Amino acid sequence: MTQRPAGSVYLDYNATALVRPEAAAAIAHALDVGGNPSSVHAAGRAARALVEQARADVAALVAAPASTVVFTSGGTEANALALESAIAAGAKRLLISAVEHDSIQETTHASGVAFEEIPVDRSGRADLTWLAERLARWDAADGKPFVALMLANNETGVIQPVAEAAELVHAADGWLHVDAVQAAGKIAVDSRALGADTLAISAHKIGGPQGVGALTFGPRAVLSRRQHGGGQERGRRGGTENVPGISGFGAAAKVSRQALEQPADVEEKQAWRDAAARRLKAAGAVVIGEAAPRLPNTLCVATLGFASDTQVMALDLAGVMVSAGAACSSGKVKQSPVLAAMGQGDLAACGLRVSGGWKTVESDWARFVDAWSEAHHRHAARRAPAATGVA
């Protein structure tokens, strides 16, 4: 089980969830078993059994057949595998939402393939009218449409209308990829009901280890192996499977699915988040995406003139760990392209992401608000002389 500094508060689960004890135990057991899952002797068969049990548990988390789960090194690789497979299948123009994760954005830019961004409204939801109109005038010379629309945004927690988008994409004979990395384990995810042709998830967002993820695929997707080797993962991804990591992933997926079956617990955690939001709004913060459906654990707020890095550092000094938007930029704090895409560019350098998880308690949220309020008060006091011209 993950340890954290004594007396600290960890509210950065959207960056990495604290490792669940069940996952840690599964990892330790897999390390003890040893063996290569491609070997036919007893140790190899035991390792293979661990991988296949984890595959079934991960599949169950997103209501997909186990045979469609391909283990990867994380959500980033899973997203890239879907996108690059679509290009290999003939996609010559990509449509990606303006609020996609960097792993989609950067892979798209690096591909050299033409692309367009699906705009979002001020709440951060994809403009399906724009998408419908764009698909209606699709040029067959661009191949079948490929659309990437994440299920829930990693910064704001805003949930996208994926099932509705899937109807539009499939009517145009297209391929819909869904990045469900932030959604899995926080809300119920049914890959088939969503209409996802491919769907990516990651272990470390649900209390599993870092460095392992998965891509699931439906009958309309054609995956192309991008990493060659000995034919592992049914020939879809070469390289010896990370048995300890996969085992921890499976254990985290199983306990996360069981937790979702306790709606009262989920509602209670959302109530803690909402209470914190009300206190911050009363102090002048803007709750980003407030009018849209959001993940129950995620709170994104911004306060004009109160820089993200200043907030993060002040809170860290107070023993409260949060993020300034996404935590996937090599530790850098930068303006949020997500807020800019939402038409809130004036707040793009002032966003703060707070995210709870399986170990969070009500007092964690209360302590965060107390620490933020104190930091905000100090910040306002420093700005007051400058605003009034007082030396």
- The residues annotated with a catalytic role in the active site are 328
Cα 348 to its chain centre, rounded Å, is 19
Q: Are 199 and 104 in contact (CB under 8 A)?
A: no
Structure tokens at 149: 């629309």
Nearest to 179 by CA among 256, 75, 85, 87: 75
DSSP assignment, residue 211? S
Q: Are 356 and 272 in contact (CB under 8 A)?
A: yes
Nearest to 201 by CA among 34, 60, 327: 60
Q: How many CB atoms lie within 10 A of CB 153?
A: 32
HSE-up (13 A, CA, CB side) for residue 143: 16
Structure tokens at 39: 């070997």
HSE-up (13 A, CA, CB side) for residue 161: 17
Structure tokens at 29: 């057991």
Q: How many CB atoms lie within 10 A of CB 385?
A: 10
CA distance 27 to 203: 12
Query: Who's near 248: CB < 8 A, 6+ residues apart?
Result: 19, 23, 24, 26, 27, 30, 203, 208, 209, 212
CA distance 363 to 37: 44
The three-state secondary structure class of 275 is helix
Structure tokens at 40: 């036919």
The torsion angles phi and psi of 69, rounded to 5 degrees, stand at -95, 120
Neighbour-count burial of 228, counting CB atoms closer than 10 A to its CB (0-12 exposed, 13-18 middle, 19+ buried): exposed
